[in-house]
Amino acid sequence: ATRAAIEEGVVPGGGVAYIQAMSALDGLTLPDNENVGKTILKKALEIPIRIIASNSGQEAAVVLEEVRNNSGANYGYDARKNDYGDMVAKGIIDPTKVTRAALENAASVASMILTSQALITDEHDDKPEDHGHVH
């Protein structure tokens, strides 16, 4: 991670860079079929911050809207301190190279799935999980 940060710099962490990337998608005018892909990508970009919020016991939609509606470029949610602020100033950063590679790889996998004739996955188990509890 350190080597990647030295090579390409850093972006605000905590999912903020992905929220910022969404604004680039807003300016795109695409045909209907590609617009569906844009909508899916925008939903996917929300997932990291939603997971961080949920894992810290917060309502994901509330945290997402707070971050999205703030004009600060590095503004995000600090799950450890349960507050908001400048993620870079707080030292919550991600290497740009890692963030970019994650987006590129996710897009590549999605493209492969969408253009495949078939997909092999694990069998879905309909049994409820007991989480180690005896009832």
- Report the domain count for the chain: 1
Angle of helix 16-26 relative to helix 32-55, nearest 10 degrees, comes to 160
Judge whether 117 lies within some domain. no
Radius of gyration of the chain (CA): 18
Judge whether 42 lies within some domain. yes
Provide the CATH number for the domain around residue 56: 1.10.560.10
Give the predicted TM-score (pTM) of the model. 0.77
Considering only CA atoms, which of 17, 21, 20 is closest in space to residue 5? 17
pLDDT band at 133 (very low <50, low <70, confident <90, very high): low
Q: What is the pLDDT of residue 24?
A: 86
Judge whether 130 lies within some domain. no
Judge whether 43 lies within some domain. yes
Judge whether 132 lies within some domain. no
> Does 127 have pLDDT greater than 80?
no
Judge whether 102 lies within some domain. yes
- What does residue 10 show for φ and ψ, rounded to 5 degrees? -130, 160
HSE at residue 47, side-chain half, CA atoms within 13 A, is 9
Can you give the residue range of the structural domain that contains 25?
Answer: 2-109
Q: What is the pLDDT of residue 46?
A: 95
